[in-house]
Amino acid sequence: MSDYEIAADVAPGGLLEIYDVRILICYLLDSVDKPMTKDQLNHIFREERVVQYFTFSDALAQLVQDGHLSVQVKDGEEYYQLEPLGKGTAKRLQSVLSRAMRERIVRSAVALLQKQTIEQENHAKIVPSGKGFEVQCSVGDGILTLLRFSLYVPDEMQARMVQKKFMKDPLKLYQAVLQELILDEDSDSNHA
């Protein structure tokens, strides 16, 4: 396989050297200050097209082997945790990476983690019901269910639209419902 074929899925300015990829992984984990799975890291790097998959996998394995990262198992999934050696690497060598790349990767990671948190804490399930569909929605905060409701719609297309729109910003709906329900009664009597 030629160098061109290996680098074909990496955008211009992407990283081809394993040394740089190791620094990027340490920098990212230091910046988000949270363990991440291999799939999460790979998703970020592939989405931004900064690293070829095999280079990424080799770099990750080397970081664990050299003590920059440790692997923690939580709910049957492996998470990569930055160790003090990796934190030092991130701080000392971050200037090897362009500022634009560092910022782009961190932005992508934050967006992915926020999306996954929303998906874990909030749910919208479509259930056939009579001649239509029921969309069962719930808004949570990781500990409590803040709001739970069901909405009937006549067809599956509308159910999917409701589901998608709800999952885009469930807290916005929760805040709107809460605001409507706790309006000052004097304000309501002026409208009557």
pTM attached to this predicted model: 0.67
In tens, the pLDDT along 9-59 reads 766 666 778 888 899 999 999 999 999 999 999 999 888 888 888 999 999
The token duo for 17 is: 């050297």
pLDDT at 61 over 90: yes
Residue 26 class from Cβ within 10 Å (0-12 exposed, 13-18 middle, 19+ buried)? buried
Q: Are 122 and 167 in contact (CB under 8 A)?
A: yes
Cross-strand partners of 133? 128, 153
Share of the chain above pLDDT 90, in %: 43
CATH number of 3-118, picked from 3.40.50.300, 2.20.25.90, 1.10.10.10, 1.10.620.20: 1.10.10.10
* In the chain, domain spans: 3-118, 122-191
